[in-house]
C-alpha cells in the first residue's frame, strides 16, 4: 500500500511516526487510531515473518497469545479464520499468521506506507525521517518497532566464512535446497530444533550441535512432584495466558509493568532465567532420528574445499553447510536507520535502550517497543503477546503529550493483568 505523497510533509507536533509493521508496529497503530492520535506507519506488513521464517514452521506461542493486539478486540485470529472460512488448527502455520498480519494491517493501518525509512535524525524538537525515494517526513515522536532483522547473533568462530557455507537461520525459508547435504544446526532453542526437523524431513543429513543440553518446554518429566500434584488437582489453572518462561515465574512475566520496577541487576537475572533456550515439546518426536551433539564447544570453524570443518573440544567434523540458529542480540549500535549522533545520545544497558514507563528513551519523543524493550520490561516483550502492553503505554504517552489524558481517563487506566486476546499488562 504505497501511497502517493508530497516531497516534504509539513511538521505536525502531534504526529507519531511508527517505523515497522510487524505485530508491535501494527498494534501501536491500532491503539493510536482508537485514541485519535495522528500517526503514520512505515513498513511492509509482517515482512519478517514472510521472508525470514522457514516454510512449514509452526508458531510456538499458544493461540490466545498470538492475536495482534487490537483495543476493540475485533481483529483476532479467530475473526480472521472465520472470515477466511478456515478451520482453527492445533498449531498455527507461519503462512497463516502472515495472512492474518496482512488482514490486520488492512483494518488497523489501511494507509500503511511501504516505503523504506532510510534515516532518522533529531530536528527542531522532533524528528526528520528520510524515505527511500527522498521524501521527508517530520514527526514529534518516533516509535521504533523495526524488530529483529539485522540483529542476528553470529559467533565469532564463524567470522569471515562465506554465507554460502555458513548462514543464520533467518536467511532461509526453503529447506528443500539442502536435500542430500550434510548440515550442522548450531543452537538448542526452538528455532534450532524446528530448523533441524524441517531439514531432516526435507531429506538433509542433519546434526544439532549445542553447548548445553536440549530443554523441552512443558516436559512432564521435568516437573517436580508438588507441581505434578497441583496440576492433577487444578488442571490448566496453573498455565498463564502467554506461557513465557518456566513455572511459576511465567505468571509474573504477564506483568511487564511490575518487572519494570525491578532493579536492572534483578531484571537481567530475571531475563536470563526466563529467556533461556528451550524447544516446545511437540517437536521432540520429529527429532528422534536427528543426532544431537550436546555439551560441545566449537573452538574454530574453517573452510575446507567446499565444506566447513568444525573443531570441537574432542574432534573435528565436516559439513556441507552450517546453519546458525543462535538467536538475536539487539543493539542500538546496529540500528543504522538512526543517525549516528542520535544513536550516541541514547542511554543503554548492554546495547538495549533504557526506557521509561512509556517506552520512551532518554531522547525525548523516541520510543522503542518489542525486543528492544526486554532490558527494561522483561521477557514478554520478546513475544507477540507483549505488543498490547507496549501499544497502550506508547498511546498513553503520546496522548498525554497532546494534553488529552487525565489521570482518570480510559487510556490511563491499565489493569495489572488482562489475559484476553494477547493483551497483557
Query: According to the model, what pLDDT value does residue 231 have?
Result: 52
Query: According to the model, what pLDDT value does residue 393 have?
Result: 97
Same-domain status, 195 and 309 = yes
Query: According to the model, what pLDDT value does residue 11 have?
Result: 44
Same-domain status, 85 and 188 = no
Mean of per-residue pLDDT scores for the chain: 88
Same-domain status, 207 and 319 = yes
Question: How much is the average pLDDT of 336-353?
Answer: 97
Same-domain status, 192 and 79 = no
Same-domain status, 128 and 196 = no
Query: According to the model, what pLDDT value does residue 247 have?
Result: 82
Q: What residues are paired with 93 via a beta bridge?
A: 58
Query: According to the model, what pLDDT value does residue 248 have?
Result: 84
Residue 239 confidence class, pLDDT cut points 50, 70, 90: confident
Residue 9 has pLDDT above 70, yes or no: no
> Which grid coordinates are listed for 71?
483495543
Q: How many domains does the chain have?
A: 2
pLDDT per position as a tens digit, 102-136:
999 999 999 999 999 999 999 988 999 999 999 99
The answer to the question of residue 141 being in a domain is yes
The answer to the question of residue 270 being in a domain is no
404-410 long-range contacts (CB < 8 A, ≥24 apart) are 404/35, 404/37
Is the distance from CB of 150 to CB of 173 less than 8 angstroms? no
Please state the pTM of the whole predicted model: 0.89
C-alpha to C-alpha distance for 304 and 326, rounded to whole angstroms: 23
Question: End of a domain among 290, 324, 358?
Answer: 324
Assign 2 to helix, strand or coil: coil
Same-domain status, 383 and 316 = no
Which alpha helices (H) appear in 85-123, and where do they start and end? 94-108
Residue 405 confidence class, pLDDT cut points 50, 70, 90: low
By C-alpha distance, which of 257, 310, 244, 246 is closest to 61?
244
Question: How much is the average pLDDT of 365-373?
Answer: 97
C-alpha to C-alpha distance for 206 and 199, rounded to whole angstroms: 7
Same-domain status, 35 and 133 = yes
Question: End of a domain among 324, 354, 386?
Answer: 324
Burial of 160 per CB tally in 10 Å (0-12, 13-18, 19+): exposed
Same-domain status, 290 and 337 = no
Same-domain status, 141 and 165 = no
Query: According to the model, what pLDDT value does residue 372 have?
Result: 97
Same-domain status, 294 and 334 = no
The answer to the question of residue 371 being in a domain is yes
Same-domain status, 21 and 95 = yes
By C-alpha distance, which of 416, 143, 412, 383 is closest to 260?
416
Query: According to the model, what pLDDT value does residue 403 have?
Result: 81
> Which grid coordinates are listed for 261?
520496577
Assign 145 to helix, strand or coil: coil
pLDDT per position as a tens digit, 205-236:
999 999 988 999 864 555 555 455 545 554 55
Residue 191 has pLDDT above 80, yes or no: yes
C-alpha to C-alpha distance for 143 and 26, rounded to whole angstroms: 11
The answer to the question of residue 41 being in a domain is yes
C-alpha to C-alpha distance for 185 and 317, rounded to whole angstroms: 13
The answer to the question of residue 125 being in a domain is yes
Q: Domain range holding 20?
A: 16-151+329-401
The CATH number of whichever domain residue 293 belongs to comes to 3.50.50.60
Question: How much is the average pLDDT of 39-65?
Answer: 95
Residue 14 has pLDDT above 80, yes or no: no
Of 420 and 23, which is predicted with more confidence? 23
Question: How much is the average pLDDT of 39-68?
Answer: 95
**Cβ count within 10 A of residue 185:** 30
Same-domain status, 386 and 306 = no
Share of the chain above pLDDT 70, in %: 87
Residue 237 confidence class, pLDDT cut points 50, 70, 90: low
Query: According to the model, what pLDDT value does residue 416 have?
Result: 39
Residue 402 confidence class, pLDDT cut points 50, 70, 90: confident
Amino acid at each position: 500500500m504505497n501511497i502517493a505523497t508530497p516531497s516534504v510533509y509539513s511538521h505536525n507536533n502531534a504526529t507519531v511516526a511508527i517505523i515497522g509493521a510487524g505485530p508491535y508496529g501494527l498494534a501501536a497503530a491500532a491503539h493510536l487510531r482508537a485514541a485519535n492520535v495522528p500517526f503514520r506507519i512505515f513498513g511492509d506488513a509482517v515482512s519478517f515473518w514472510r521472508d525470514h521464517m522457514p516454510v512449514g514452521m509452526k508458531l510456538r506461542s499458544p493461540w490466545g497469545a498470538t492475536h495482534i493486539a487490537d483495543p476493540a478486540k475485533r481483529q483476532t485470529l479467530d475473526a480472521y479464520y472465520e472470515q477466511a472460512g478456515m478451520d482453527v488448527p492445533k498449531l498455527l502455520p507461519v503462512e497463516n499468521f502472515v495472512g492474518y498480519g496482512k488482514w490486520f494491517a488492512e483494518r488497523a493501518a489501511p494507509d500503511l506506507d511501504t516505503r523504506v525509512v532510510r534515516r532518522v535524525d533529531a530536528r527542531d524538537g522532533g524528528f526528520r525521517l528520510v524515505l527511500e525515494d527522498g521524501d521527508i517526513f517530520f514527526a514529534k515522536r518516533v516509535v521504533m518497532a523495526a524488530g529483529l532483522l539485522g540483529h542476528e547473533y553470529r559467533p565469532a568462530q564463524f567470522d569471515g566464512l562465506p554465507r554460502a557455507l555458513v548462514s543464520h537461520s533467518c536467511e532461509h525459508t526453503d529447506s528443500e535446497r539442502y536435500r542430500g547435504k550434510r548440515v550442522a544446526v548450531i543452537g538448542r532453542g526452538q528455532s534450532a530444533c524446528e530448523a533441524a526437523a524441517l531439514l531432516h524431513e526435507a531429506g538433509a543429513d542433519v546434526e544439532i550441535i549445542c553447548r548445553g543440553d536440549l530443554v523441552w518446554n512443558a516436559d512432564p518429566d521435568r516437573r517436580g512432584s508438588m507441581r505434578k500434584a497441583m496440576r492433577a488437582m487444578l488442571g490448566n489453572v496453573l498455565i498463564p495466558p502467554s506461557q513465557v518462561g518456566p513455572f511459576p515465574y511465567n505468571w509474573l512475566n504477564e506483568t511487564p509493568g511490575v518487572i519494570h520496577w525491578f532493579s536492572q541487576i534483578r531484571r537481567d537475572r530475571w531475563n536470563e532465567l526466563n529467556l533461556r533456550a528451550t524447544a516446545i515439546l511437540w517437536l521432540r518426536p520429529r527429532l528422534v532420528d536427528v543426532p544431537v551433539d550436546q555439551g560441545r564447544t566449537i573452538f574454530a570453524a574453517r573452510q575446507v574445499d567446499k565444506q566447513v570443518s568444525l573443531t570441537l573440544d574432542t574432534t573435528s567434523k565436516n559439513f556441507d553447510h552450517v546453519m546458525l540458529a543462535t538467536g538475536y542480540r539487539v543493539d542500538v549500535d546496529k540500528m543504522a536507520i538512526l543517525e549516528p549522533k542520535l544513536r550516541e545520545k541514547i542511554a543503554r544497558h548492554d546495547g538495549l535502550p533504557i526506557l521509561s514507563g512509556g517506552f520512551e528513551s532518554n531522547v525525548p519523543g523516541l520510543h522503542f517497543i518489542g525486543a528492544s524493550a526486554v532490558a527494561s520490561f522483561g521477557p514478554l516483550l520478546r513475544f507477540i503477546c507483549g505488543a498490547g502492553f507496549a501499544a497502550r503505554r506508547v498511546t498513553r504517552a503520546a496522548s498525554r503529550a497532546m494534553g488529552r489524558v487525565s489521570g482518570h481517563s480510559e487510556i490511563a487506566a491499565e489493569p495489572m493483568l488482562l489475559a484476553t486476546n494477547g493483551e497483557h499488562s
